[in-house]
Structure 1
Amino acid sequence: MSDDAVDPEDVRHVADLARVDLDDEEVDRFTDQFADILESFDRLDAVPEVDREEELANVMRPDEPHDCLSQEEALRNAPESEEGHFKGPKVS
């Protein structure tokens, strides 16, 4: 994968959606890191498939009900909320 696989404007867009302010140096660094990550996924595509055992066992614990947060507690640290819901940036 080439270094041009990730555009700095894409990095800025993702940062805006995540409400993270990045300076130009950070954008350049993250652009390179995102390109490296995508390259790693390309390498995974080259790994051959292997046969797996047909018998699979569920090793997960059973679900157990627990008390949940109140709406007020859940929204306490939200940067914005509206009518009892999380409010996020408009995605365009």
Structure 2
Amino acid sequence: MSGTHEGIDVGYVAKLACIDLTDEEKALFQGQLDQVLHYVEQLNELDVADVEPTAHAIPVFNVFRKDELGASLPHDAVVANAPSATDGQIRVPKIIDQ
């Protein structure tokens, strides 16, 4: 595993994932992986002692509307819009789950 970062070998991971890579692809992906891991190591050097842990970079709030009663479509309009209807009921394809 020489030339790998932190012992992660692209060839070994590709074998586990049943992915055939050429030697050129292994070299290319290994270099890219090494660059990513090197960047992560740089992030680990930052002092984050005074930073509050969060799940998101910016505050996230629910944007749901209130669940209030409101006007509905008239029954006849709904049935008229259905692709198939009988006796005021919407017909749907029969689904048998086995």
What TM bracket, shorter-length normalisation?
0.3 to 0.5
Higher RCO (CA-CA < 8 Å; seq separation 6+): 1
TM-score (norm 2): 0.44
Greater share of residues in helix: 1
Of the two, which has the highest radius of gyration? 2
TM-score (norm 1): 0.47
